[in-house]
Amino acid sequence: MAGARTMVRRIVHAVDLVAEHPEIGRVAEDIEPVGRFRSVVAAPYRVIYRVEGGEVLVVRVWDTRRDPASLQVPDEPESHDEPGS
């Protein structure tokens, strides 16, 4: 369980950095349309996001150990709101 907590902290730290410095991530040249998405790595995960209207929108946290051909990025971030919120 400690390993999972450490991983979550690393991902949250990466997202916090992106929120403060949106241009810190590399342009995700492997995702269409090229130039719309950026990413940072919190190994073994890749945080994929886009900047829109001054907001950082995380659209996918991707496990880089998976087959890159199966990577799909939604146009909109997926909602993980609690039911009833």
Strand partners, 56: 51
Q: Is residue 27 part of a domain?
A: yes
- Residue 85: what pLDDT? 43
CATH of the domain at 24: 3.30.2310.20
Residue 83 lies in a domain: no
How many structural domains comprise the chain?
A: 1
* 77 inside domain: no
**Across the chain, what does the average pLDDT equal?**
89
50-62 pLDDT, tens digit each: 999 999 999 999 9
Q: In this structure, is residue 79 part of a structural domain? A: no
Residue 39: which pLDDT band, with cuts at 50, 70 and 90? very high
Give residue 50's domain range: 2-70
Dihedral (CA of 10, 47, 12, 16) sign: positive
Exposed/middle/buried for 15, CB within 10 Å: 0-12, 13-18, 19+?
middle
Q: Note the pLDDT of residue 73.
A: 85
Residue 84 lies in a domain: no
